[in-house]
Amino acid sequence: MRTQDFDFYLPDTLIAQHPTSTRNASKLLYLNGQSGVLEDKLFVDFPDFLHAGDLLVFNDTRVIKARLFGTKTTGGQVEVLVERVLDNHHVLAHIRASRAPKVSSMLRLANAFDAKVIGRDDDLFHVQFLGDIAVLDLLERYGALPLPPYITHNADAQDDERYQTVYAKHAGAVAAPTAGLHFDETVLNALTAKGVKIAYVTLHVGAGTFQPVRVDNIKDHKMHSEIYHISAETVAAIKTAKQAGRNVIAVGTTSLRALESAAQKALNEGKPNTLLEAGNAETSIFITPGFDFKIVDKLLTNFHLPKSTLLMLVSAFAGFDAIKQAYAHAIQKEYRFFSYGDAMFLEKSSHAEK
């Protein structure tokens, strides 16, 4: 397929710049996987679509304050966006400057501490944070929340709270798993009262999630890589749900990518009888129409960027034509798009392209 197949026109007025008044106040578009019928709902209706014994899988990553501003020793301005924390003193980062810093260059960040460029890997720089204070502590103290490029304001106190899920636990993401932003205690309590089970994975979302596909043929696209962890408890919960004939619902494309990556890993390691394995791994999985989903039955997600890998993923899951129609409907009905926007609930299509 061609990248152009996944393009669409979106009025700027539909790009949500701020969160709704409360987390659960967004709209919800439901796409029936069998009939293709669309239903306009509210997010507070979400529990109505689930049944006792169904399993919701959340991504419990926590967004870090990954954006830092500073200067080079030459006096030039730099912007550092941490992509991945490697250990207490080393990161991989994007660096914006009038001229890219050379290896061994020194940086003064936030006018508070020094860092050294010690290597480069494609478009990422290997940076050492100098001193005794750990990276995550420095970021929390001096960094700014890295809002997506289509949000035009600088991060403020409201963003610090709302661009983070209520169940965020493990620090490491530079973008929020946005489908989870809609959940508050009211919705979570309604789900558990109904007998819905909850499990967690951790996938630290990278900045590459916002990168459009720039090649003509989608098969030529090089996917960014992310780290994920799946616990033994989550694996057991998925097996229990599958054996009972219940649905596994991924909350967000990041949860889906982690689960399907783990299933693909088991197959690649010659373990066809193993559904998926617990543990840490790295994934650059690229899900496009024709993908064979092994774990996820239903998907809660937001609306995604034109020509993005995530739009390709949902098209693979729910069907290319069905997603195209759903997005046209959402634009007509003035749904809010992207990170702070409204949600979609998708069933795996029985008619999706194979």
What is the tally of structural domains in the chain? 2
112 and 184 in a single domain? The answer is no
189 and 284 in a single domain? The answer is yes
Least confident of 211-220, 249-258, 300-309: 211-220
Q: What is the pLDDT of residues 91-106, one digit of tens each?
A: 999 999 999 999 999 9
275 and 298 in a single domain? The answer is yes
Of the three residues 108, 142, 176, the one that is the final residue of a domain is 142
Of the three residues 111, 142, 173, the one that is the final residue of a domain is 142
Of the three residues 116, 142, 168, the one that is the final residue of a domain is 142
Q: Cβ distance 93 to 125 under 8 Å? A: yes
Average pLDDT over residues 52-77: 96
Average pLDDT over residues 129-158: 96
Count CB atoms within 10 A of the CB of residue 161: 11
Average pLDDT over residues 6-11: 97
> Does residue 147 sit within a domain?
no
**Looking at residue 12, what is its pLDDT?**
97
Is the predicted pLDDT of residue 288 greater than 70, yes or no? yes
Query: Who contacts 260 (Cβ-Cβ below 8 Å, separation ≥6)?
Result: 285, 287, 291, 293, 294, 295, 296
> Does residue 73 sit within a domain?
yes
Distance CA 23, CA 223 (A): 31
Average pLDDT over residues 140-144: 96
> Does residue 336 sit within a domain?
yes
Is the predicted pLDDT of residue 51 greater than 80, yes or no? yes
What percent of the chain has pLDDT above 70? Answer: 99
- In our burial notation (b when 16+ CB lie closer than 10 A, e otherwise), range 60-71 reads bbbbbbbbbebe
> Does residue 267 sit within a domain?
yes
- Name the residue among 254, 246, 247, 252 with its Cα closest to residue 228: 254
Q: Cβ distance 88 to 66 under 8 Å? A: no
Strand segments (E) across 165-318: 170-173, 197-203, 226-230, 248-251, 279-283, 298-302
Both tokens assigned to 155: 């991060």
Average pLDDT over residues 151-178: 96
φ, ψ dihedrals at 335, nearest 5°: -65, 155
Average pLDDT over residues 179-207: 97
Q: Cβ distance 325 to 318 under 8 Å? A: no
Average pLDDT, the chain: 95
- The pLDDT confidence band at residue 209, using thresholds 50, 70 and 90, is confident
Least confident of 50-54, 198-202, 253-257, 345-349: 345-349
> Does residue 102 sit within a domain?
yes
**Looking at residue 354, what is its pLDDT?**
39
> Does residue 354 sit within a domain?
no
339 and 200 in a single domain? The answer is yes
**Looking at residue 211, what is its pLDDT?**
79
**Looking at residue 273, what is its pLDDT?**
79
125 and 170 in a single domain? The answer is no
- The pLDDT confidence band at residue 351, using thresholds 50, 70 and 90, is low
Is the predicted pLDDT of residue 326 greater than 60, yes or no? yes
Inter-CA distances, 99 with 92, 108, 208, 292, 294, Å: 18, 16, 22, 44, 46
Average pLDDT over residues 146-164: 95
**Looking at residue 353, what is its pLDDT?**
47
> Does residue 353 sit within a domain?
no
176 and 275 in a single domain? The answer is yes
> Does residue 150 sit within a domain?
no
19: domain range?
3-63+160-347
- Name the residue among 283, 281, 279 with its Cα closest to residue 313: 283
55 and 193 in a single domain? The answer is yes
What percent of the chain has pLDDT above 90? Answer: 89
**Looking at residue 233, what is its pLDDT?**
97
